[in-house]
Amino acid sequence: MPLKQREQQIAEAEELLGDRLAQASFAKGLFFGTFANRKLLDYPNLAADTATLALVDELRRYCQAEIDPVAIDRDAMIPQRIIDGLGRLGMLGACLPAECGGRGLSQTQYCRLLEVLGGHCASTALFVNAHHSIGPRAIVLFGTPEQQQRYLPKLATGEWISAFALTEPEAGSDAANVQTTATPTEDGRGFLLNGTKRWITNGGIAQVLTVMARTPVPSSSLSPGERAGVRGGKTIGGQPETKITAFLVTPDMPGFEVVEARMPKCGVRGSATGRLAFHNMFVPKENVLGQLGKGLRVALTVLDFGRVTFGATCTGAAKFCLQRASRHAATRVQFGEPIGTFELVKEKLAFMNAGAFAIEAATYLTAALIDSGEDDYMLETAMLKVFATDTLWRIINDTIQIFGGKAYFTDEPYERMMRDARINMIGEGANDVLRAFVALVGMRDVGLELKGVLDALSSPLKHFSKLGGFAGRKLEGLFRSPEVRVHHSELEPEAARLGHTVSTFGSNVERLLRTYREEIVERQYQAGRIADAAIELYVSSCVLRRLDALLSLPLGEGSAAADRSRAIPPSPLVGEGRGEGNGHLKSAIASDLIAGRYYLRSAERRIRRALADLWDNDDALATQAANAVLP
């Protein structure tokens, strides 16, 4: 083998062996069986942010006085006066730059506001989230200065509403399967868009839309004259190669059609979900958002932000249910006793309490991760979205069960909340698709490392240091679990258990990859189990961080300590007055500590069950049963 080729192979092997773990995000590190303490932030202390607390209080008062979720659901429309009011409050431009008329809030601060909306009216929360989180956000992140100055000021006030048009008949969770085309014009001035979009929130009422469409890939082999006009490009099998590009579109463009402005639907009826069509719609090249052919990056980036706000709205709804269900269980008497004394009801309340606490912990720690400037958080946001929406669905279901027949009628909010919550597990990435994503992306770097080790074994002397490092890490894992650091000794038992579970998870991931190798991509039963365990591990890590923060809260006398307690938003079990006085503060912290500890212990059991099912399951029989009913 020529020396140059050998040196190239050595360099490639060293890259595979040396950098995979160092470059991994916190969540990806879990798949290696490691706990990257420095990559998991401390739980954010929101107490000093008095400006955001004031905004939260102002928004809560506005919701109670002006937003009627029953009427919005019944009329299938959010009144214009509500939209105008949200604009005056700054909700519609919360995270937009101040120089463009926005409030310039961080993701963490914005989540505090979305939590309020999520606990009050899901339709309004969805409207705001679709307008703000995935509309103007794309312009902030990828727009030119000219685009930002043109669109953001009116979007920030709500004078203009935005929409994000990605979904099509053939492109749902498979975002890369967009079929809408954008054909370059002969004169090079722009593109002609043709295609349809459906299920677009705000689509029929928006003044600015981010539209995803396929554009030809320019060929580097074309002459300068051919490349000057945008036509022409690469071909694959005789067909033009295309990639997705993001465009800024306005409904006054000739060829823009609103096929259906408000599609009747199961829940979140107040939001306007539309169908659109584009008929040779000319879009000037100045309206390309980001780089040509990089639209999928635009889409996936803004979806990360939207998934975090899912956590915030789910937190608000979960707290609402927990507060109402616990009060009902304490006062509803059956068989001579309050139903809250029965263990099957206690079991539901315990899950709801722990689940609400965990959703909140994961939401604000993930939001803080984005605010910290880290650029790799796609796994964490996907994990949060799956966990928050799945957990809220069970919380609402358990709330209905605790209320019984009373919850089934429309004079109570729970049947509406059930209808509203169902879309959460479908929108912005269906949960099963995200489970497969979490498992495969998480295991990818572990698999590449193992492949690098196998390749290096062919020349062990040349890669002795790399192989030694790998072997040392594996041997250390056999005798010692990764250290999970906490500030307070009271949490050391929970930290030790979490570290042991992380180590066990990493060993199972490696064993699974050795067993299936490349075939793991097709093993979705197994991928689902790995994803479920990984999600619980990530959320457990967030919960432990939040418990550590709780124990750091000062309990001194006076209103200062009470104000600082608001760093942890109120627990519904102790009512709205948890921040008033030292006694309430102690009671709230004690309640939250119990909820967090119960989540950690129950999550550990679920993780152990998922890992055991990797090696003892009925997958073959499940496939046979499914195939028996498939046509």
What's the first-to-final CA gap in the chain, in angstroms? 54
Q: How far is 362 from 381, CA to CA, in rounded Å?
A: 9
Residues recorded for the chain:
631
Partner residues linked to 334 by β-bridges: 337
Place of tokens 């699974």: 512
Please tell me whether residue 387 adopts helix, strand or coil conformation.
helix
Q: Which residues in the chain land under pLDDT 70?
A: 1-23, 48, 219-239, 452-479, 555-585
What is the model's pLDDT at position 582?
57
Q: Cα–chain-centroid distance for residue 583?
A: 36
Return the CATH class of domain 50-161: mainly alpha
Q: What is the mean pLDDT of the chain?
A: 87
Q: Which helix (H) or strand (E) holds 58?
A: helix 50-66
Domain ranges of the chain: 3-39+435-618, 50-161, 163-293, 298-433
CATH number for domain 163-293, candidates 3.40.50.261, 2.40.110.10, 3.40.50.1360, 1.10.3720.10: 2.40.110.10
Please tell me whether residue 163 adopts helix, strand or coil conformation.
strand
**Residues tagged active-site:** 428
What is the model's pLDDT at position 400?
98
Q: Cα torsion at 567, 393, 395, 437 (round to 10°)? A: -60
pLDDT tens column, 327-377: 999 999 999 999 999 999 999 999 999 999 999 999 999 999 999 999 899
In one-letter notation, the amino acid at residue 91 is M
> What pTM, to 2 d.p., does this model score?
0.88
Q: 126, exposed or middle or buried, with CB in 10 Å at 0-12, 13-18, 19+?
A: buried
What is the model's pLDDT at position 217?
87
Secondary structure (H, E, C), 258-306: EEECCCCCCCCCCCCEEEEEEEEEEEEHHHEECCCCCHHHHHHHHHHHH
What is the model's pLDDT at position 218?
75
What is the model's pLDDT at position 580?
43
Q: How far is 38 from 40, CA to CA, in rounded Å?
A: 6
Q: How far is 252 from 258, CA to CA, in rounded Å?
A: 11
Q: 524: Cβ–Cβ under 8 A, 6 or more apart, which residues?
A: 436
Backbone dihedral angles phi then psi of residue 244, each to the nearest 5 degrees: -80, 135
* Share in percent of the chain as helix, strand, coil (round to 5): 65, 10, 25
User: What topology is assigned to 298-433 in CATH?
Assistant: Butyryl-CoA Dehydrogenase, subunit A; domain 3 (1.20.140)
Q: How far is 501 from 93, CA to CA, in rounded Å?
A: 42
Partner residues linked to 337 by β-bridges: 334
Q: How far is 440 from 135, CA to CA, in rounded Å?
A: 29
Q: Which helix (H) or strand (E) holds 245?
A: strand 242-249
Q: What is the CA radius of gyration of the chain?
A: 26
Q: How far is 382 from 532, CA to CA, in rounded Å?
A: 12
Structure token pair of residue 420: 């509203």
pLDDT tens column, 517-566: 889 999 999 999 999 999 999 999 999 999 999 998 875 433 333 333 33
Q: Does domain 3-39+435-618 have CATH number 1.20.140.10?
A: yes
Fold match flag (50-161 vs 298-433): no
What is the model's pLDDT at position 477?
55
Nearest to 445 by CA among 6, 17, 10: 17
Q: How far is 481 from 474, CA to CA, in rounded Å?
A: 11
Q: How many CB atoms lie within 10 A of CB 210?
A: 28
Please tell me whether residue 69 adopts helix, strand or coil conformation.
helix
Place of tokens 């606990």: 119
Q: How far is 479 from 584, CA to CA, in rounded Å?
A: 44
Structure token pair of residue 411: 């004079």
* Pairing status of strand 208-216 against strand 162-165: parallel
